[in-house]
Amino acid sequence: MTGDSSNRLTLTPEQTAFFKENGYLVLRDVLDRNLCAQARDRMWASLPEGSHLKRDDPDTHYAPFPDHETSDDPLYIRRNERWHLREASTEQFLIDLIYCPDLCNVAEQLLGEGLLQPPVPDGEPMGSRGPAWPGGPTDPAIGDGVRGFYWTLPDRSKTANVDTAHTDGHPFNLGVIGVLNDVPEDGGAFTVWPGSHRRLYPTFQLQYDQPRIPYYDHMPSLKGIINPPEYDAELKAIKEDTQAVVCHGKEGDVVLWHHRLAHMAGNNNSDVIRQVVLNDFNRKDLDTCRLDPPQENMWHDWSGEVNDTAVSYSVEFARDQGITSKVD
């Protein structure tokens, strides 16, 4: 990154320590409000004409999308409670929102100065081509910009409690969730299992990527990514012994998260649409190290500052990050 960075957002040692220990970090009031508003406008403008969803009528904001408005186009998904838009992923305003100087400064602080892969304005959005595996979901690794808008309609029955805890299967370094509206605690912004990145990282065969198995019509029982048995066992243990944290917040907040952190989009049992943007910050050398095995030092590819940071933060700080019980 070039230019004067002296006034840019910088993590404190306590914030870096918390990220290192827990694999996520909530930062308040980071995103530009005008760009957040522009992002919301862009999403609403993408609805088909005559949609049942009326921006000014909250009574219409509940799941599911009716059949005639359902879309499985990877660039524009509307199904049940999911409302995703990826066709705007490389538009300049969205790049300006997420690749803002403050977030880039923080990403460089964690991943190393001058090492970030830059986005390509007007490049190829994620979802333009290439499912993760035949018949599988869109591959988030293919795309020149932001992952896209991942909105979740509220569930009027408020009974949804689906467990979809997972780690992402594609290679990336640092995840970011940008919050575009005020999302209450039961609004499903982002659920994480603190510390799970340290326990899951060594269970993988590859440091950033995962082996994949082809799909055959006549042998349909297995396809897509392969999770080692050690991973499945550890994830099960984590869900049993670790209190999940439901990250939520206000317009402009962000959540940073480690690539091997167990997470899920939380259930939206509130009365407002969960409105977030997802992005991956990647290092330019991701391709040269994605197939390496997990390293003895799991922070091998992270900045010297991260490596040198001793894990120390206050109980109050942890509580502010949503941790009310001891982790691990």
Which residues in this chain contact Fe ion in the complex, by CB under 5 A?
A: 168
**Residue 327, phi then psi, degrees to nearest 5:** -90, 145
Residue 18 C-beta: closest distance to Fe ion, Å: 21
Question: Quick one: 22 or 167, whose CB is closer to Fe ion?
Answer: 167
Pairing of the two strands 212-213 and 76-79: unpaired
Question: Quick one: 139 or 168, whose CB is closer to Fe ion?
Answer: 168
Question: Quick one: 112 or 171, whose CB is closer to Fe ion?
Answer: 171
Residue 147 C-beta: closest distance to Fe ion, Å: 10
* Amino acid identity, position 222: L
Residue 275 C-beta: closest distance to Fe ion, Å: 17
Sign of the CA dihedral 313, 316, 319, 323?
A: positive
Residue 166 C-beta: closest distance to Fe ion, Å: 6
DSSP secondary structure of 228-247: -HHHHHHHHHHHHHS--EEE
Residue 263 C-beta: closest distance to Fe ion, Å: 6
Burial class (CB in 10 A: 0-12, 13-18, 19+), 31: buried
Q: Which residues pair with 12 in a beta bridge?
A: none
Question: Quick one: 192 or 273, whose CB is closer to Fe ion?
Answer: 192
Chain residue at closest Cβ approach to Fe ion: 168
Residue 175 C-beta: closest distance to Fe ion, Å: 8
Sign of the CA dihedral 11, 148, 322, 325?
A: negative
CA–CA gap between residue 292 and residue 298 (Å, rounded): 12
Question: Quick one: 17 or 77, whose CB is closer to Fe ion?
Answer: 77
Question: Quick one: 98 or 318, whose CB is closer to Fe ion?
Answer: 98
